[in-house]
Chains A and B, each alone.
Chain A
Amino acid sequence: MMLRPTLEDHKVVGFYTGRIIIGVGALMVLPLSTSLLFAEWKTAIDFATGLLACLAAGFGLQALCLTHQELRRRHGLVIVSTSWVLATVLGAIPFYLSGYFGSYLDAIFDVMSGLTTTGLFLLQDLDHVPNGLNMWRFVLTFAGGQGIIVIALTALFKGVGGGIYHLYSGEGKEDRLLPNVIQTARTIWVVSLGWLLAGTAALTVSALALGQEPVRALLHGLWVFMGAFSTGGFAPQSYNTMWYHSLVFEILCVIIFVAGSLNFAVHWAVWTGSRAELRRNVELRSFAVTLGIFSLITAIGLARSGLYTDALPFVRKTLYLVLSGHTTTGFGTIYARSLVTQWGPLPMLGIIGAMIIGASSCSTAGGIKGIRVAIISKSFLQDVRRALSPESSVITSRYHHVKDRMLADDTVRTVLMITIAFLTMHAIITVAGVMAGYPVLEAGFDGVSAASNTGLSCGLTAPSMPDFLKVVYVLAMWLGRMEFLAVFALFGWIWSVVRGR
């Protein structure tokens, strides 16, 4: 039985959602400033309109729902889901006003893709968009990578009760880097900003070496960093990172997006002196094993196709695409349609497998996550050992993830539940693609890419795709990023309003 939420419950949800939306509006100051800096007046007006809409919605909700009731567990997840919906709808305003999108749905698609760090896009004429508009794409993806709730927790929340942990965990992050959730959120930003400085500097120097003029090099360095570290996959050019044609640039991208796919708790452990974490962490071991498996599958398919006969392009293209898929980044160094017309089924299946697994939990990455693969594998091995041992023996398993942990049945159950939910979603989204008239492999590739928040495309995702498929992809991106729980909590909340007691 679900209890019908009281008016006070609705007020708590509305009040804190309003606060988060103010935070989202504050982010629009960055693209607005960029537009003003480059004298892009029309774009500046678009962002001023979006900013005003966010502030009006945020302050309006706070005024309407003013409450002193404490934030509780049942509110936390609902606030997260509601905030993401509102942030997407309001964040799409400047996109839509820009004229670079065919419809408001297309603009919503790109905002959801950015916030969930997916990287699929329906924006038209990307190579000629104003700097302000491009800045918003990357701010969305960088902020979404850390989490819009993490941003709000960093700056806007103080002493609001026990529900604050559920705000944090509702965005698919469970590990606390420090005992205090707000300190954890701030630490996530310390890590991200540390990498932002180092990564942007390296990419800017590389872009300068490629002959870009300084301001352009800085913008490209910053934007590509944001797309890479957030495992977002947005790039400032329509040819994605293939546009740079530079091995050094690609290596830097790989370093940044693999680093972005690491668990923030692992970052913090390494940054505070525990270098051994990179060797001992079960999630990273799992990632190394699955990376090896999917690299081999892809390489076998490509070697048989005879597409690349020289070693360097063969290794370079294979490793880049598999790593991009496995970390759910979505950067590419080949034309989208080449996956179908040149790479063929086996390499595509290799990348689909990598995308499904994804990278680390509590990172910017999507997918099932390495920790879940590791826990399921450990649990399976534990059951085999149990079957082969005397009945009286007690068989336990341990694993290392920042600290040593015992494998508990409850953990396995939760992990299996989320894994099954992900696999079901991949199946449903593939069927939806086939129903829209696309071949099964292409429907599976782009569908899995959306649901795992990757962003690689074999050419299916385009403004001309059916609207119903766009809606399915938007929902899949949202569900994948929230890891189901927060979205289902919102549905449950709505249901309990109707049918609760």
Chain B
Amino acid sequence: MDSRSRTGGRPTPTEQIQTLAVFATGILAEAMYVIGLGALCSVAIMAVLLAGG
């Protein structure tokens, strides 16, 4: 993501915080994806145990 100011030069503190916030939500979205995937698999694995293999 281009975090440079629209007027050119170094990004302002506000723009830096905005960029960091976008990145942080990206990390959170990926973490939620992994948790969702793991939860789905856990249900399938549990079903196998209940069915006795």
A interface residues with partner B (beta carbon < 8 Å): 194-195, 198, 254-255, 258-259, 262, 267, 270-273, 275, 278, 288, 291-292, 295-296, 299-304, 308, 311, 314-315, 318-319, 322-323
CB-CB under 8 A from A262, the residues of chain B are 30
CB-CB under 8 A from A273, the residues of chain B are 22
B51 → A minimal CB distance (Å):
8
Asked if A278 contacts B29 (CB within 8 A), the reply is yes
Bound CA span A291–B38, Å: 10
B3 → A minimal CB distance (Å):
10
Asked if B26 contacts A311 (CB within 8 A), the reply is no
> B31-48, CB under 8 A of A: which get 1 and which 0?
101110110111011101
Asked if B49 contacts A292 (CB within 8 A), the reply is no
CB pairs A–B below 8 angstroms (18 shown)? A194-B23, A194-B26, A194-B27, A258-B37, A262-B30, A270-B29, A271-B26, A278-B30, A278-B33, A292-B40, A295-B44, A296-B45, A299-B48, A299-B49, A299-B53, A300-B48, A318-B45, A322-B41
Known: A259-B30, A273-B22, A303-B49. A292 touches B38 (CB 8 A): no
Asked if B38 contacts A195 (CB within 8 A), the reply is no
Main secondary structure of the interface of B (DSSP, over half): helix
Asked if A314 contacts B27 (CB within 8 A), the reply is no
Bound CA span A278–B32, Å: 10
Asked if A255 contacts B31 (CB within 8 A), the reply is yes
CB-CB under 8 A from B46, the residues of chain A are 311, 314-315
CB-CB under 8 A from B52, the residues of chain A are 303
Asked if B34 contacts A258 (CB within 8 A), the reply is yes
CB-CB under 8 A from B45, the residues of chain A are 295-296, 299, 314-315, 318-319
CB-CB under 8 A from A254, the residues of chain B are 34, 38
CB-CB under 8 A from B48, the residues of chain A are 296, 299-300, 303
Partner of B31, one of A259, A288, A303, A315: A259
> When A and B form their complex, what is the total count of cross-chain residue pairs whose Cβ atoms lie within 8 Å?
83
B30 → A minimal CB distance (Å):
5
CB-CB under 8 A from A271, the residues of chain B are 1, 22-23, 26-27
Known: A272-B22, A273-B22. A267 touches B30 (CB 8 A): yes
Number of interface residues of B (CB under 8 A): 25
Asked if A295 contacts B33 (CB within 8 A), the reply is no
Q: Nearest residue in B to A278 (C-beta to C-beta)? A: B33
Asked if A311 contacts B34 (CB within 8 A), the reply is no
B36 → A minimal CB distance (Å):
9
Asked if B53 contacts A323 (CB within 8 A), the reply is no
Bound CA span A195–B34, Å: 14
Bound CA span A420–B35, Å: 33
> B8-28, CB under 8 A of A: which get 1 and which 0?
000000000000001110110
Bound CA span A62–B52, Å: 64
Q: Nearest residue in A to B35 (C-beta to C-beta)? A: A255
Partner of B38, one of A303, A304, A314, A319: A319
B38 → A minimal CB distance (Å):
6
B6 → A minimal CB distance (Å):
17
Bound CA span A243–B16, Å: 39
Partner of B27, one of A198, A301, A303: A198
Q: Nearest residue in B to A271 (C-beta to C-beta)? A: B26
B11 → A minimal CB distance (Å):
14
CB-CB under 8 A from A258, the residues of chain B are 34, 37-38
Asked if B37 contacts A275 (CB within 8 A), the reply is no
Q: Nearest residue in B to A300 (C-beta to C-beta)? A: B53
CB-CB under 8 A from A308, the residues of chain B are 49
CB-CB under 8 A from B53, the residues of chain A are 299-304
A182 → B minimal CB distance (Å):
15
Bound CA span A195–B42, Å: 25
Bound CA span A201–B34, Å: 18
A111 → B minimal CB distance (Å):
30
B19 → A minimal CB distance (Å):
10
Partner of A314, one of B41, B44, B49: B49
Bound CA span A4–B24, Å: 51
B46 → A minimal CB distance (Å):
6
A290 → B minimal CB distance (Å):
11
CB-CB under 8 A from B26, the residues of chain A are 194, 267, 270-272
Asked if A292 contacts B41 (CB within 8 A), the reply is yes
A260 → B minimal CB distance (Å):
10
Q: Nearest residue in B to A316 (C-beta to C-beta)? A: B42
Asked if A195 contacts B49 (CB within 8 A), the reply is no
A296 → B minimal CB distance (Å):
6
A231 → B minimal CB distance (Å):
13
Bound CA span A308–B22, Å: 42
Bound CA span A292–B48, Å: 12
Asked if A255 contacts B42 (CB within 8 A), the reply is no
Bound CA span A422–B49, Å: 33
